[in-house]
């Protein structure tokens, strides 16, 4: 690549207490091109970007932007200089409007007073320019997660930046919205804006990237034009080894019914869901965001109040009013929102692992057994952590997830629900988790796998239950499953049944 | 992956070890400043006796802070319980018995009644906070006013002339060691045990760190929060019993005034984080001692009361600044 570079990061080292996150990495970005950073979680991609825009200060190394060396102490410095970033984890100010959020920190002023009219007009223009149908006066908390993400994108674009960094921008977007985003990216490229793109979604990456750089374990591995690479080459570089199957679903005998749900109802989110789950089976829950899959499982688990229907677990009728009851009966739920209700960041790996199993350690607590149990699962799941006492928030997303999986396995459940278990997790850890889930099924556990990733659902499930707006719209057998069929059910186009599923109430509003 | 047993000096120094260092430096400073009058046996006894009650309150309120809450009631509970217990412990021949003619109850019964009042108050506060979800600061601001008022309604003048037996807990000695200090040490050990060796302790850490995650993991957040506030009020009630015993009387308008502030200060200096999820019982002990050394030492040095408060204020703010830098959760 001998084009002129708008950005060069040279020999960047970033150390945290006890951890060397970046070991001397490189990055060269061409203006007006999409440059994708790839690598497993913990490879250092987000860290490198945070070093660029002033959230972190590199321990050593040089950042050369537009031919000059820069050291940003704050994000605002970087933004005013033309580098903006859309973060992976959104933190909008919920109680404020779209307008307020977009112009936060740089509200246009008339004298000493904020120019409210200009702010609003500029926001309307911006949203129109990007073809976004969002009401600018709504409070952020009234938007869907996808809309919040689009506002975030609009905000970054409004800085008239020369470089826009996008960290997993499509994680909550529908296919339509992804297309909108790609259109925005194309527009930016036409204006000679460089995009630094971080994502794990292979299809996307190879659609829009011009250049790709791969990192692994805080080291720079390789960089090339996208046209010279393909999925297999990149995966090999990311992981350092051959990846055989992504979804090693092992064939295993499907046993008796372990969980039976009939006409489950919970408020407006769960209107009518019925299904049976068997030992050794992986039942995939597919559907669009907002279909009610998470809510259905939360209702069974006792996290949400049940307003109708019946549930049988291991032949006995049950009604769980809180998670504690569910756990005692052999039901476990690995939630979707790791940070929100999964990990307790300040507590250690050991403490997080034993958290759902505390009643088994006696009075006073048997600290040795707690330690041994935690160590057993760290070993079994190949979790990368400096020690059992490390605060879990210091681990990468994939390893945090492994600790959580360990927490639930420790309760020895008969039924395990995993909600988006591989979201935001790199290819290597993903395959490990898939392998683990298959193994659990082979051991006789019953698994519900909620996932929005079609390949994952199709590759892992024995049967796929599809939901649409609170209703179960269909149950598809593995051998009959196609993406199109799942999509049909997920969008509510067809109302169909098969096997042992009950008739749903009808097409949803 | 390491499996460190034994003493990890580096972690100690960068973690809570610093406050012990500060304590040692303060002691040295006081000893030199007062011309070797600080580290005498009698002064140490005075210091410990003075700090024991607020120290016990600190062990109580630290749990509220750990759970990401706070309790402003302890001082008022001290007042209420001290006056009720004092009225039950008045000698039968005392000049002005609050409850009219009669005999004082057995000490054991009085103590149980006092602690029961603490448990009841804690239960009401805890249930309110857990089920209405109003900010603990507001809830306990209200309960503080209410408890103090009830204490003053119970008796509008000081209650004195208490039995020897009742006074033993606050004023007696076992050998050379004051009973009140023994109670303080026992409460330290109990607090340490609860937070480190019981399921309840682990629950509170989890609730303070991420109550949603605690809930999903099967922890009954509401019930545990109630227990937290019961514990805090129980400690305050014990404080009330001890202060009545130590002084031989109780004045509901002035007893316990601002005790909770000192207790919160001690817990905070001791490393309890107001963002929840962080608390170290030996650290709180150190916090209590630091404030005790400051209180006692500055008096010996003849420093004005107001100056002492300025210094205490700076210590509290300084320790929170350091605490927040240490415990900032990763964004």
Q: What does the pLDDT look like over B190-238, one tens digit per residue? A: 999 999 999 999 999 999 999 999 999 999 999 999 999 999 999 999 9
Q: Return the SS3 of A89.
A: coil
Sheet of A60-65: strands edge to edge?
A19-29, A7-16, A60-65, A68-69
Mutation pick from B5, B207, B217, B276 vs chain A, by most beta carbons of A within 10 Å, is B217
| CATH class of this structure's domain A244-330+414-509 | alpha beta
Helices (H), A268-341: 293-301, 323-328, 338-341
Contact in structure between B70 and B135 (CB atoms under 8 Å): no
Please tell me the distance from the alpha carbon of residue A210 to that of residue A228, in angstroms, as a whole number.
Answer: 10
Band the pLDDT of A397: cuts 50, 70, 90: confident
Contact check, Cβ <8 Å, A363/B199: yes
CATH topology of domain A7-239: Rossmann fold (3.40.50)
Please tell me the distance from the alpha carbon of residue A335 to that of residue A45, in angstroms, as a whole number.
Answer: 25
Q: Which of A165, A167, A170, A164 is nearest to A150 (CA)?
A: A170
Q: Going by C-beta distance under 8 Å and a sequence separation of 6 or more, which residues neighbour residue A503? A: A497
Helices (H), A316-426: 323-328, 338-341, 349-354, 367-380, 397-410
- Give the mean pLDDT of A142-151: 83
Please tell me the distance from the alpha carbon of residue A26 to that of residue A48, in angstroms, as a whole number.
Answer: 9
Q: How many residues are listed for chain A in this entry?
A: 509
Contact check, Cβ <8 Å, B197/A365: yes
Q: Which of A212, A214, A213, A205 is nearest to A185 (CA)?
A: A205
Q: Closest approach of chain A CAs to the CA of B275, in angstroms?
A: 11
Mean pLDDT across chain A? 86
A307-346 pLDDT per residue, tens: 999 999 999 999 999 999 999 999 999 998 898 899 999 9
Return the pLDDT at A62: 93
User: Which stretches of chain B score pLDDT less than 50?
Assistant: 1-6, 13, 330-331
Q: Which of A492, A443, A484 is nearest to A291 (CA)?
A: A492
Does residue A487 register a pLDDT over 50?
Answer: yes
Of the segments A99-103, A493-497, B59-63, which one has the largest average pLDDT value? B59-63
User: Over the Cα atoms of chain A, what is R_g?
Assistant: 24
Question: Using CB atoms, which residue from A344, A385, A386 is nearest to B277?
Answer: A344
The two structure tokens encoding residue A214: 């791969």
Contact check, Cβ <8 Å, A344/B213: yes
Please tell me the distance from the alpha carbon of residue A23 to that of residue A15, in angstroms, as a whole number.
Answer: 8
Q: What ipTM was estimated for this complex? A: 0.85
| Backbone φ/ψ region at A303: left (φ over 0), alpha (ψ -120 to 50), beta | alpha
Which residue segments constitute the domains of chain B, with CATH numbers given? 40-322 (1.10.3470)
Helices B221-247 + B41-66 axis angle, to 10: 160
Contact in structure between A212 and A200 (CB atoms under 8 Å): no
Cα four-point dihedral sign B38, B39, B43, B47: positive
Q: Domain spans of chain A?
A: 7-239, 244-330+414-509, 346-412
Please tell me the distance from the alpha carbon of residue B270 to that of residue A201, in angstroms, as a whole number.
Answer: 47
Contact check, Cβ <8 Å, B209/A303: no
For residue A109, the tally of other CB atoms under 10 A from its CB is: 11
A411-467 pLDDT per residue, tens: 999 999 999 998 877 777 888 888 889 989 999 999 999 998 777 888 899 999 999
Return the pLDDT at A509: 32
């Amino acid at each position: 690549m001998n084009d002129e570079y708008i950005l060069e990061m040279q020999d960047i080292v970033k150390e945290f207490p006890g951890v060397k996150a970046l070991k001397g990495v490189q990055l060269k970005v061409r203006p007006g091109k999409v440059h994708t950073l790839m690598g497993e979680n913990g490879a250092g991609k987000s860290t490198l970007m945070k070093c660029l825009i002033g959230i972190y200060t590199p321990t050593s190394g040089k950042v050369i932007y537009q031919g000059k060396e820069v050291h940003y102490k704050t994000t605002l410095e970087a933004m005013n200089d033309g580098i903006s970033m859309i973060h992976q984890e959104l933190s909008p100010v919920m109680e404020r409007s779209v307008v307020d959020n977009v112009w936060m920190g740089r509200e246009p002023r008339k004298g000493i007073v904020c120019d409210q009219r200009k702010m609003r007009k500029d926001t309307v223009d911006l949203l129109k320019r990007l073809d976004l149908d969002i009401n600018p006066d709504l409070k952020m908390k009234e938007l869907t997660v996808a809309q919040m993400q689009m506002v975030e994108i609009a905000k970054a674009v409004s800085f008239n930046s020369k470089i826009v960094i996008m960290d997993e921008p499509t994680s909550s977007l529908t296919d339509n919205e992804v297309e909108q985003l790609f259109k925005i990216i194309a527009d930016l490229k036409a204006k000679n804006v460089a995009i630094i793109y971080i994502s794990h979604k292979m299809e996307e990456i190879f659609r829009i990237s011009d250049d790709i750089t791969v990192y692994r374990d805080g080291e720079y591995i390789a960089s090339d034009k996208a046209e010279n690479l393909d999925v297999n080459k990149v995966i090999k570089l990311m992981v350092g080894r051959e990846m055989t199957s992504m979804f090693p679903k092992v064939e295993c005998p499907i046993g008796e019914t372990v969980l039976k749900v009939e006409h489950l109802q919970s408020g407006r989110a769960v209107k009518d869901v019925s299904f049976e789950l068997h030992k050794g089976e992986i039942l995939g829950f597919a559907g669009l965001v907002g279909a009610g899959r998470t809510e259905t499982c939360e209702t069974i688990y006792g996290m949400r109040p049940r307003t109708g229907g019946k549930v049988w677990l291991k032949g006995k009728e049950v009604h769980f009013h809180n998670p504690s009851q569910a756990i005692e009966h052999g039901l476990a739920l690995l939630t979707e929102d790791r940070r929100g209700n999964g990990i307790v960041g300040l507590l250690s790996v050991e403490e997080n692992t034993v958290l759902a199993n505390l009643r088994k350690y006696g009075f006073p607590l048997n600290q040795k057994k707690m330690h041994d149990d935690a160590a057993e699962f760290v070993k079994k799941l190949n979790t990368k952590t400096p020690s059992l006492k490390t605060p879990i928030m210091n681990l990468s997303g994939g390893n945090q997830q492994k600790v959580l999986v360990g927490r639930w396995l420790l309760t020895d459940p008969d039924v395990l629900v995993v909600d988006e278990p591989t979201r935001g997790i790199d290819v290597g850890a993903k395959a490990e988790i898939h392998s683990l889930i298959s193994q659990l099924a082979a051991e006789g556990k019953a698994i519900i796998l909620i996932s929005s990733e079609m390949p994952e659902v199709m590759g892992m499930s024995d049967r796929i239950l599809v939901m649409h707006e609170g209703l179960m719209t269909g149950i598809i057998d593995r051998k009959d499953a196609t993406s199109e069929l799942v999509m049909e059910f997920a969008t509510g186009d067809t109302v169909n049944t098969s096997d042992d599923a009950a008739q749903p109430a009808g097409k949803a509003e | 992956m390491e499996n460190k047993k034994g003493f990890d000096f580096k972690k100690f120094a960068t973690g809570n070890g610093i406050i012990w260092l500060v304590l040692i430096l303060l002691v040295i400073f006081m000893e030199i400043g007062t011309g070797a009058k600080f580290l005498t046996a009698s002064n140490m006894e005075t210091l410990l006796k003075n700090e024991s009650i607020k120290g016990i309150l600190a062990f109580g309120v630290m749990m509220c802070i750990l759970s990401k809450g706070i309790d402003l009631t302890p001082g008022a509970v001290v007042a209420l319980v001290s006056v009720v217990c004092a009225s039950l412990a008045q000698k039968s021949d005392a000049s002005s018995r609050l409850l009219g003619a009669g005999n004082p109850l057995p000490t054991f019964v009085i103590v149980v009644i006092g602690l029961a009042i603490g448990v009841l108050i804690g239960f009401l506060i805890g249930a309110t906070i857990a089920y209405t979800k109003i900010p603990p600061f507001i809830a306990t601001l209200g309960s503080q006013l209410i408890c103090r008022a009830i204490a003053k309604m119970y008796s509008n003048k000081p209650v004195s002339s208490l039995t020897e037996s009742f006074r033993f807990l606050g004023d007696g000695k076992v050998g050379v060691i004051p009973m009140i200090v023994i109670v303080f040490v026992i409460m330290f050990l109990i607090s340490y045990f609860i937070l480190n060796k019981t399921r309840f302790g682990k629950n509170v850490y989890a609730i303070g760190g991420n109550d949603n995650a605690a809930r999903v993991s099967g922890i009954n957040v509401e019930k545990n929060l109630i227990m937290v506030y019961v514990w805090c009020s129980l400690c305050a009630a014990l404080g009330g019993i001890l202060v009545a015993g130590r002084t031989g009387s109780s004045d509901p308008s002035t007893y316990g005034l601002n005790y909770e502030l000192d207790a919160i200060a001690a817990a905070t200096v001791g490393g309890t984080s107001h963002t929840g999820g962080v608390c170290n019982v030996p650290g709180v002990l150190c916090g209590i001692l630091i404030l005790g050394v400051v209180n006692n030492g500055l008096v010996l040095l003849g420093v004005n009361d107001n100056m002492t408060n300025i210094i205490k204020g700076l210590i509290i703010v300084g320790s929170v600044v350091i605490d927040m830098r240490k415990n900032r959760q990763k964004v």
